[in-house]
Chains A and B, each alone.
Chain A
Amino acid sequence: MAFFEQLASNLIYGMLLGGVYGLATMGLSLIFGVLRVVNVGHGAFIMLGAFTAFWMFTLYSIPPIASIVMALVIGLALGYLIFMSVMRRLLDAPELSTLLAMFGIGIFIEELAKFFWGPDYVGYSWNIGGISFPITEIPFTKICAFISSIIIAALLYIWFQRTKLGKAIRAVVEDREGAMVCGVDVNRIYALSFALGIGLTVLSGVLVTLFTPVGINVYMGGDYTLKAFVIAVLGGLGSPWGAFYAGFIFGLLENGSYTLLGLIPGVEPFGLTRFVSFAGLLVILLVKPTGLLGGE
């Protein structure tokens, strides 16, 4: 019985985490969908969000859930700055250039963070109780993170469907020449989508810390970059909604398979779970590159 209890509690945990994974990947997918740029520096922006939460809490005792606004503003500004200074010049360049530029920017942010904040792990403790179930107890912080990511995703959905700018972004994703002909200022949409993508990523960095409040480190992002790639491909690269749903699938599969692989004697379940997820990535890329959920 103990095993099923553990599996159930891990699956609940996986679903809550999956919501945050989904939101954390939407920015990556949005940027790829609109600009065809793979943000290989993704993790660095997650890390910035995590540190925003940490500093706001430590210095001003602002609850992390409130610093998502701050993180969004920082991310939007940073995204706009990066677009205007670097990405704008690379729009017609081959993919190699944008990949390398994003990688360089990611490293630069990480190293700058290390220069100012040091290489050590830091953390905070924000305890607001939890809900007790017969099998496990779930802290409110994680539920907060889960609910916020659903609310943010829902707001984004409405924004994309109803507003003129949202529609323009969707038009550029569908067909950029067509959008241009219809009078959409494509460069402005590029700038906006890039800023929004980075903003979302930094914001989700705040939510990530609600799950691992003591795992904040300047190099914490690498892990999230790789996971985000798997999730983005799972949901169909370039589709933010696909990415959001795929986040749930990934969270459930990750935690579920971790529990199951732990049953096999002589292996390290942590490493094998990663292996399974990357093997899955390759299979999806090969069999159905438009993603499990999408189909164009």
Chain B
Amino acid sequence: MRRYKPLLPVFAIYVILLIIGATTPGLWQPIMFIMFYIGIGVALNNFLGLTGYVDFGYVAFLAMGAYGMAVALNYFTELGFGAVALGFFLALLFSALLCIAVGGVALRLRGAYFAIATIGVNEGLRYLIEGARIWGGSEGIVLSGKLRKAFGPDFANYLSTFVADVCLIIVIFVASVITIYLINSRVGYALLALREDEDAAKVVGINVTKYKLIAFFTSAAIGSLIGASAWTLKLTYVFPEDVFFIHYTVEAIVIVMLGGAGTLLGPVISGLIYGALKYYLSVILPGFQLLAFAPLLIIIVVAFPDGIVGYVRKKLRGKSLFEYIR
């Protein structure tokens, strides 16, 4: 159990956030907004943080999740709760299919080539959906009317407010457990070697492709569940230009970097900071949040390449708190 001690501060942050949200009137939505950013940070960290590969097309996995849920709710509405369960299944299935496609092509590439290839996958998929008019093409899928007709306004409302939030929270808790499991297991050690020097890792006899794929699949699966619950279930619509919007990928990358790539606590703290800042900046300076974030991103990259948690861990080395922070 000692290895799982670092989960303690992470869960403490989640619980405190949720308690604040549930007890203070008007704070639940901001807290869920923050939880979404924590979620995409934790999800992407499982790949980018652990392998060091920059996936600029990560949002495509959230999009696949969003479409999986939308397809289930749109075409199998009569199943009720079953449609939601089917939606999560389809979300996982679609993202796994995309994983196989991307894994076959892009994961053979490294560095800048990998980054460009993933942009290609994201944009290509988006334009395939728009161009070939798959799942409604550029008009997307709008569910609210259909859900209200099938379930009645109360249950539809219950789905999009309560169920969606609960699903997102569960996914985030599970995602953090998966991260600590990966870090502590053989997979984590192999990925650490891979991140430092892929060729050397190969020479030592580590099956780098296998471990890269494990991290990739895990991260994609979590991402798709977040897309299914925080987007489709909560907002009840899916538009291709929204769900393939490359800025979400970038936000997730910023969160991973700010917190410290490959750490457990990092994306949680930075997701909290990022989400809260973004929410309040959009209130104070509507439309100009990015103007404040861009310099912040540049400063982090230049001055603090290890991120917040990486920096704190360096300071705490040898102290008793050290083993709680990962």
A contacts, CB < 8 Å to B: 32, 36, 38, 40, 86, 89-90, 93-97, 99-101, 103-105, 107-108, 110-112, 114-115, 119, 222, 226, 229-230, 233, 237, 261, 266-275, 278-279, 281-282, 285-286, 289
Contacts and interface: CB of A to CB of B under 8 A. Distances in A.
B128 A275 contact: yes
Contact of B113 (A89, A273, A278, A285): A285
A101 B302 contact: yes
Contact of A268 (B112, B116, B138): B138
Interface string B97-141: 000000001101101110111011101100111111100011000
B253 interface: yes
B127 A32 contact: no
Contacts of A285: 105-106, 109, 113, 116-117, 120
B284 interface: no
A80 B56 CA distance: 27
Contacts of A105: 294, 298
8 contacts: A100-B253, A101-B301, A103-B250, A110-B290, A112-B291, A229-B116, A266-B133, A275-B128
Contact residues of A: prevailing secondary structure: helix
Interface string B271-306: 000000000000000011011011101100110010
Contacts of B109: 285-286, 289
A261 B131 CA distance: 10
B302 A111 contact: no
A267 B119 contact: no
Contacts of B120: 229-230, 278-279, 281-282, 285
B293 A107 contact: yes
Contacts, number: 144
B91 interface: no
B64 interface: no
B131 A275 contact: yes
B110 to A, nearest CB: 9
B290 A94 contact: no
B298 A86 contact: yes
Q: Which 7 A-B pairs have the closest CB atoms?
A: A271-B131, A278-B124, A272-B131, A108-B294, A271-B130, A274-B127, A104-B297
Given A101-B298, A282-B120, A285-B109, 16 more contacts: A86-B298, A89-B302, A90-B301, A95-B54, A97-B301, A104-B295, A108-B291, A237-B113, A268-B137, A271-B138, A273-B131, A274-B123, A278-B127, A282-B121, A289-B109, A289-B113
Nearest to B118: A282
B175 interface: no
